[in-house]
Structure 1
């Protein structure tokens, strides 16, 4: 049983830390001197991120955790 707990802790720490790093990198995209973007782009980014967070959280409560396909700003 302890092995399953340790595996969960190890994976959770690595994955959450990686997600935090990637969210910070998304925040770096706000630099208007380096990038051009519309407010709708920002809304799309955070809408899809929130949906994925909600889906992941739902899985811990026994939900299905429906996921989006790959994210695209432009089609």
Structure 2
């Protein structure tokens, strides 16, 4: 059982750090001098992020597995 805990801690820390770094990188896109985006783009991004966070939290609470991958696209 201790091995399973060690694996969980190791992977959870690495994946959480990667997720937080990716959120920082996403935040870098807010620089209007380098990027052009609409309020609808921002809403779509954060709806998708919020939905995935809620789904992931539910997976922990209900001990269920996800059966699909996320696909996110903004209109061109």
Whether TM-score is above 0.5 comes out as yes
Unmatched 5+ residue regions in structure 2? none
**Kept in 2: contact 1:55–1:67 (CA 8 A):** no
Q: Which residue of 2 aligns with 1:56?
A: 56
Q: How many residues are matched?
A: 75
How far apart are 1:68 and its partner, in Å? 6.4
How far apart are 1:61 and its partner, in Å? 1.0
How far apart are 1:69 and its partner, in Å? 3.3
Displacement over 6 Å in runs of 4+: none
Pairwise CA RMSD: 1.8
Pairwise mapping of residues 1-75 of structure 1 onto structure 2 (< 5 A)? 1-62=1-62, 64=64, 69-74=70-75
